[in-house]
């Protein structure tokens, strides 16, 4: 059987990629990722069935997070890295089981495949299609994708020394449940909602990890132009990687620019002390094909979204770290203390020219919960006086499809007495438009990365309290969210868990939702798709 993957918004023909991923993932990569997920499920089954305390698992907890992160869309295309991770996880699995009887455990907990061919052969029978009932398959995958997103956020928190054993325990429980054929569709729906609960917890954990180490994001103007020094571009989401890169480039004459989802790093007080932290270069992830060419210097990927480079020249400048990987690109691993040595990246930067200018000016961001709360009076007054009629949460992801122009048009056509609350790479569809402000409050408030959607939820809960409402849905807030990959799934499940209703999701609904599962989401939560910008604005404002 060839590959089958439908985990992201760009799934071929809105159904699934079967020959090669639209993302560039090959059949072999897809299969190795399937087997890696299957092996994590096997470990989860052992942990759950044998009642093992996650606190005794040590490094395995972190390896489970990395394994899941490696299978997120656009994170890791390196078959050698995937193969060695599968081997590592089989060994971890066997070590956990050592001495204990294997009765009652399924194939995922016991299979063996130590060579690439054996792995590929095994993978052919353990992928998405291994579950025949389309509703059970849909729910199992929805949970799995939510857990992948959870693992990504938990990995960033772990890198900052923050962990929550309850989140690990839930990951094992949920992944084991996806193998349990005794669970009914109703039980899986309940588990989907529970996934959202832990989604809130993991985003709170990461928020705490980031803010306790780097300070609370504050309103910041970020330069989008260039200077004349040799430079490194850092992409992805991991702030510890950025911190280490800034420490190591300090005083070297090499500047550091952010790309894509790393832009919000500029809002944290801790990074403002670095004179060489020069600004943001370019736009969201999919624009990297042209923007990396003109950047000229080395690029460091700390996470997704990687687009396979078009030329060997660009490829020779790409480095990966953490769970990211691309064949032929140098990978920088952490030592036992989490330290990374970026000297090779810095040395390469010194031999290369400064970036070509593609834009000039500044953009403003840093409206995470603490900053918004600091001006809460102003916001509340603006709502009470009618100066702000409605907020639009437009968090989520950007993507290549032309249909995403909808979001630019939507932002442009929104009435002038509305404010956009954003987080994630979705913002690049409208963060450079001149949408003005309302009495000094900008009409686009950027809270940060996709995980900072948590900030938007905190703001909504706070406003509910300030206005003395008994239901979050009575606030003048509408949700028009753009999704792309699995981190958006955990953000969505977290919002549903918090009781947010009538979320509109676009540009298309997930291919992995079967008609029956989609019906449950529509009937229980009022989830909807999108239409034309004009019609949708009318609908939202009514
Ligand atoms: Fe975007 Fe990519 Fe942050 Fe995602 S860069 S699409 S949802 O990885 O994680 O928002
Ligand atoms: Fe296709 Fe998305 Fe899967 Fe890539 S991640 S193979 S684009 S569904």
| Structural domains of the chain, with CATH | 12-213 (1.20.1270.20), 220-350 (3.40.50.2030), 366-541 (3.40.50.2030)
Question: Which ligand 1 atom lies nearest to the CA of residue 426?
Answer: 10
What pTM was computed for the model?
0.98
Question: Which ligand 1 atom lies nearest to the CA of residue 491?
Answer: 7
Question: Which ligand 2 atom lies nearest to the CA of residue 22?
Answer: 7
What separation in Å is there between the alpha carbon of 343 and the centre of ligand 1?
27
Nearest protein CA to atom 3 of ligand 1, as residue: 450
Among the bound ligands, the one closest to the CA of 490:
1
Pocket of ligand 2 (CB under 6 A): 5-8, 10-11, 17, 21-23, 25, 73
Nearest protein CA to atom 2 of ligand 1, as residue: 305
Q: Give 282 or 103, the one with higher predicted confidence.
A: 282
With 80 as the cut, is the pLDDT of residue 428 above it? yes
What mean pLDDT comes out for the span 196-212? Answer: 98
CB 260 near ligand 1, within 6 Å: yes
Instruction: Output the pLDDT for position 98.
Output: 85
Q: Which long-range contacts (CB under 8 A, 24 or more apart) does 79-83 make?
A: 79/26, 79/28, 79/29, 79/32, 79/116, 79/327, 80/327, 81/325, 81/331, 82/29, 82/32, 82/33, 82/36, 82/325, 83/32, 83/116, 83/119
Instruction: Output the pLDDT for position 1.
Output: 61
Question: Which ligand 2 atom lies nearest to the CA of residue 5?
Answer: 3
What mean pLDDT comes out for the span 295-304? Answer: 98
CB 305 near ligand 1, within 6 Å: yes
Counting Cα atoms < 13 Å in the Cβ hemisphere of 82 gives 30
Instruction: Output the pLDDT for position 357.
Output: 98
Among the bound ligands, the one closest to the CA of 20:
2
With 90 as the cut, is the pLDDT of residue 21 above it? yes
CB 449 near ligand 1, within 6 Å: yes
Q: Which of the four pLDDT bands, split at 50, 70 and 90, describes residue 200?
A: very high
Instruction: Output the pLDDT for position 104.
Output: 92
Q: What is the pLDDT of residues 129-175, one digit of tens each?
A: 999 999 999 999 999 999 999 999 999 999 999 999 999 999 999 99
CB 484 near ligand 1, within 6 Å: yes
What mean pLDDT comes out for the span 73-102? Answer: 95
What mean pLDDT comes out for the span 2-28? Answer: 97
Q: What percent of the chain has pLDDT over 90?
A: 98
Both structure tokens of 341: 């040595």
CA distance 124 to 311: 32
CA distance 247 to 486: 31
Instruction: Output the pLDDT for position 100.
Output: 80
Beta strand 255-258 pairing with 299-301: unpaired
């Amino acid at each position: 059987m060839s590959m089958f993957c439908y985990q992201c918004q760009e799934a071929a023909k809105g159904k699934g990629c079967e020959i090669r991923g639209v993302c560039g993932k090959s059949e072999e990569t897809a299969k190795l990722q399937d087997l890696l997920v299957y092996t994590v499920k096997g470990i989860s089954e052992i942990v759950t069935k044998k009642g093992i305390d996650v606190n005794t698992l040590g490094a395995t907890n972190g390896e489970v997070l990395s394994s899941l992160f490696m299978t997120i869309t656009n994170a890791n295309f390196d078959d050698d890295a995937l193969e060695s991770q599968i081997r590592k996880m089989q060994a971890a699995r066997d070590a956990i089981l050592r001495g204990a009887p294997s009765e009652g455990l399924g194939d995922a907990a016991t299979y063996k495949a130590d060579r690439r061919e054996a792995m590929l052969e095994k993978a052919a029978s353990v992928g998405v299609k291994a579950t025949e009932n389309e509703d059970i398959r849909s729910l199992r995958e929805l949970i799995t994708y939510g857990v992948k997103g959870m693992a990504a956020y938990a990995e960033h928190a772990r890198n900052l020394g923050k962990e929550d054993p309850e989140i690990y325990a839930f990951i094992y429980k949920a992944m084991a449940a996806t193998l349990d054929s005794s669970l009914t569709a109703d039980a899986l729906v309940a588990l989907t909602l529970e996934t959202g609960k832990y989604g809130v917890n993991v985003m709170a954990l990461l928020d705490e990890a980031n803010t306790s180490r780097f300070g609370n994001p504050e309103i910041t103007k970020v330069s989008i132009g260039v200077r004349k020094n040799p430079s490194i571009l850092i992409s992805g989401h991991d702030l510890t990687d950025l911190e280490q890169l800034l420490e190591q480039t300090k005083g070297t004459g090499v500047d550091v620019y952010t790309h894509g989802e790393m832009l919000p790093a500029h809002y944290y007080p801790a990074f403002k002390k670095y004179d060489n932290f020069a600004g943001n270069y370019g736009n969201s992830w999919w624009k990297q094909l042209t923007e990396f060419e003109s950047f000229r210097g080395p690029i460091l990927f700390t996470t997704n979204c990687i687009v396979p480079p078009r030329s060997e020249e660009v490829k020779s400048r790409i480095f990966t770290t953490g769970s990211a990987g691309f064949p032929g690109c140098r990978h920088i691993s952490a030592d036992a203390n989490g330290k990374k040595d970026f000297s090779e990246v810095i040395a390469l930067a010194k031999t290369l020219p400064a970036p070509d200018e593609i834009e000039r000016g500044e953009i403003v961001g840093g409206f995470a919960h603490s900053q918004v709360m600091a001006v809460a009076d102003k916001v509340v007054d603006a709502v009470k006086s009618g100066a702000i009629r409605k907020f639009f949460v437009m968090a989520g992801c950007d993507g290549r499809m032309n249909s995403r122009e909808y979001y630019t048009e939507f932002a442009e056509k929104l009435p002038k007495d509305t404010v956009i609350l954003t987080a994630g790479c979705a913002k690049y569809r409208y963060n450079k438009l001149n949408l003005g402000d309302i009495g000094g409050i900008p009409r686009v408030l950027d809270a940060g990365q996709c995980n900072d959607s948590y900030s938007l939820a905190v703001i909504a809960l706070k406003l509910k309290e300030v206005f003395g409402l008994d239901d979050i849905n009575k606030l003048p807030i509408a949700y028009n969210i753009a999704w792309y990959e699995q981190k958006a799934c955990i953000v969505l499940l977290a919002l549903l868990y918090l009781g947010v209703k009538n979320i509109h999701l676009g540009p298309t609904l997930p291919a992995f939702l079967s008609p029956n599962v989609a019906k449950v989401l529509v009937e229980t939560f009022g989830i909807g798709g999108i239409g034309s910008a004009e019609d949708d604005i009318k609908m939202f404002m009514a």
